[in-house]
């Protein structure tokens, strides 16, 4: 007799952190809180540069991703190879639809996933929205990655992959703006005011929080003006390697080098909260910045979340 499962999760939303380590930790937390051993189909949706691969690595440590951020492409695809053999050698498979559709027809990929599920194997599908029309079944758990990370356990009434991706694609642009503005602010504080390179991060809606052990001798209104000048220069922001980005001719340390706008003038409506906020719990000083719609008032930043050192 099939066990009865009472589903209670409707919708969970998290700030999407910037930096691989922080995404790993969030992935681990999501796995512990929301995944069941009985879940077989995990759908991941989101645009390029959102951090989907890092989240998956945190959720499923040791899983071989077939199209890694480092450019490691596993060929032939293990899932298709096992279907051809008629024997599934692994318990869990990874599939990147956007990548695989360049080599394999959609209906072939859908049939391979169906066969794996019929054999009680688990399949993690990136860009699940591309597979859903051919697969004709929803995921057991769907995770959207954009400006926020959304976790849902769909029913026959939805939500459906397109509904989730429509949300996260829109919010990703603000996350990229915030990350670039965050690095520009840290660069100015380090270069012009001697701030230490080692600091913690927190997250806030459409913005960022830099956390320092001591108050920096810097007028934050002046810092804001300097950052705005860099933004107005229209400098290119480019990936260098997994630990650095380039901002114009400068190289800067960054643990999330793929989550940036391509040019500083893509950052909209940057502003800093004009005063340091002291956190008596952690005995640290917070510098808070935001981007995007001016209707987002920095005075109401109660949504700040704790995170870890990048």
Neighbours of 46 (CB within 10 A): 26
The residue assigned the tokens 């079944």 is 137
- Degrees (nearest 5) of the Cα angle 38, 124, 146? 115
Q: State pLDDT tens for residues 237-253.
A: 999 998 999 999 999 99
207-212 and 284-290 strand pairing: antiparallel
Of residues 76 and 252, more confidence is placed in 252
Neighbours of 309 (CB within 10 A): 12
pLDDT of residue 294: 80
Q: What's the CA gap between 110 and 236, in Å, rounded?
A: 40
Asked if pLDDT for residue 73 goes beyond 80, the answer is no
Check the CA dihedral 48-128-146-211 and report its sign.
negative
What average pLDDT does the structure give for the chain? 88
Q: Give me the domains of the chain, ranges plus CATH numbers.
A: 12-159 (3.40.50), 174-306 (3.30.980.10)
Asked if pLDDT for residue 296 goes beyond 80, the answer is no
First to last CA, the chain: 48
Q: What is the DSSP string of 237-261?
A: EEEEETTEEEETTEEEE-S-TTSS-
Asked if pLDDT for residue 300 goes beyond 50, the answer is no
pLDDT of residue 69: 57
Q: State pLDDT tens for residues 15-24.
A: 888 888 889 9
Tell me the mean pLDDT in the region 163-181. 93
Q: What's the CA gap between 217 and 232, in Å, rounded?
A: 25
| Nearest alpha carbon to residue 221 among 178, 276, 258 | 276
Neighbours of 268 (CB within 10 A): 16
Confidence category of residue 310, pLDDT binned at 50, 70, 90: very low
Q: At 292, list the tokens.
A: 């995007």
Asked if pLDDT for residue 4 goes beyond 60, the answer is no
The proportion of the chain whose per-residue pLDDT surpasses 70, expressed as a percent, equals: 90
Q: At 169, list the tokens.
A: 């694609």
Element (H or E) spanning 44, and its range?
strand 41-45
């Amino acid at each position: 007799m099939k066990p009865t499962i009472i589903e209670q999760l409707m919708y969970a939303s998290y700030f999407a952190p910037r930096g691989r380590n922080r995404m790993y930790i969030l992935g681990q937390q999501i796995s512990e809180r929301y995944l069941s051993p009985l879940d077989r189909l995990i759908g991941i949706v989101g645009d390029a540069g959102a951090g989907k691969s890092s989240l998956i690595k945190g959720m499923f440590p040791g899983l071989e991703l077939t199209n890694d951020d480092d450019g490691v492409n596993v060929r032939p695809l293990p899932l298709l190879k096992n279907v051809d053999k008629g024997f599934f050698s692994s318990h869990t498979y990874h599939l990147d639809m956007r990548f695989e559709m360049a080599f394999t027809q959609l209906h072939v990929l859908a049939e391979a996933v169906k066969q794996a599920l019929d054999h009680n194997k688990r399949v993690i599908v990136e860009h699940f929205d591309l597979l859903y029309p051919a697969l004709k079944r929803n995921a057991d758990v769907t995770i959207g990655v954009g400006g926020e990370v959304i976790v849902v356990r769909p029913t026959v009434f939805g939500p459906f992959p397109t509904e989730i991706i429509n949300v996260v694609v829109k919010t990703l642009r603000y996350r990229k703006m915030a990350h670039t503005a965050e690095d520009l602010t840290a660069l100015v504080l380090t270069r012009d005011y001697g701030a230490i390179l080692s600091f913690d991060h927190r997250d806030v809606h459409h913005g960022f929080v830099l956390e320092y052990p001591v108050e920096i001798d810097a007028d934050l209104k002046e810092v804001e003006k300097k950052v705005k000048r860099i933004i107005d220069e229209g400098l290119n922001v480019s990936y260098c390697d997994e630990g650095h980005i380039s901002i114009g001719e400068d190289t800067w340390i960054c643990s999330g080098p793929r989550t940036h706008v391509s040019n500083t003038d893509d950052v909209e409506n940057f502003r800093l909260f004009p005063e340091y906020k002291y956190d008596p719990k952690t005995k640290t000083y917070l510098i808070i910045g935001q981007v995007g719609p001016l209707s987002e008032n920095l005075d109401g930043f109660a949504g700040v979340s704790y995170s870890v050192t990048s």
